[in-house]
Structure 1
């Protein structure tokens, strides 16, 4: 009887340690995807950042996914070369990519918020649903904020910026498909990975 109160804090400590490890791991994944060679197509290059950002939300859920992105940003701001092509510091936030950078934690949170509310028994087999969650995050959050950033920092009109953003669509479709495949595979292997608050939606 006396051991029960001590067991609860122990479980909480393990849970917190696990959450921190997951957040740090996905922050490192985003950094690795950012460091890979970018494809220059104009003022904003094509990278795998969006794949890793949306994957963080789809796998970790809204809060931890957004925290992973924010940790990656914080590490880059303090000087580690984790931004595109090894960039660091505040310089990327002063360039045409600023809107995309600002959108990333929001997009991760949104994707995680949607995935958390999918029926848990279907998450591991719901590639189309997770794909739609990632696509919605791109369309509703990343593209608009990215276009605003380009219009602000790249001397483009909003129309020109939105038109340029359309060039990312084919690559983003492929990245979202890959994200959905990876996310469902992770949830199949670790069915309890998403936070518990979404369990109410399993009924």
Structure 2
């Protein structure tokens, strides 16, 4: 037990997990469950030195209403201004000492996802398993609540040389990623997307109708 309400009911209970080291710094981890004063579940998830990490589930009347995914950004993208002069993400203020809310999926009373309220990316791999020398192919689709994604720029770390990025400019909400699989170590896709989304309730040409956001991509796939 971590804390209680005045009426004696639990507010937060936790289970300690093993420590982890990220970017050379040691963090303790806990799995926590938060309740309201009536002992209804409000939230479940892992914390790293009090920072949310991984998938957190949120509840209302003990029913799941939202899942949010918190990540530790790749150090490459935290320091991207020093690695590529053509990219400026300083406006997004990515912090090296914090986790980042990457995606959120909302659910209706039947437990079905509500895409119109969610911000996330979805992937479709063309095969379940791959071999060395195959040409990897995967579709990405991006969503932003109440908006239509009208433009996206993608930046992928090059597996052979993590000081380099592959750029994909001027896509819309859909993008097909292809890459040669050089060896079994190249079993993940790391990158980010910067996208522009248009508020569907506003008129074209309204400068306040557009939102900018970044989303980190971290996908693993099976190589036989």
TM-score (ref. length: structure 2): 0.26
Q: Which has the higher strand share?
A: 2
Which structure carries more relative contact order (alpha carbon 8 Å, separation 6+)? 1
Q: Which has the higher helix share?
A: 1
Higher Rg: 2
TM-score (ref. length: structure 1): 0.28
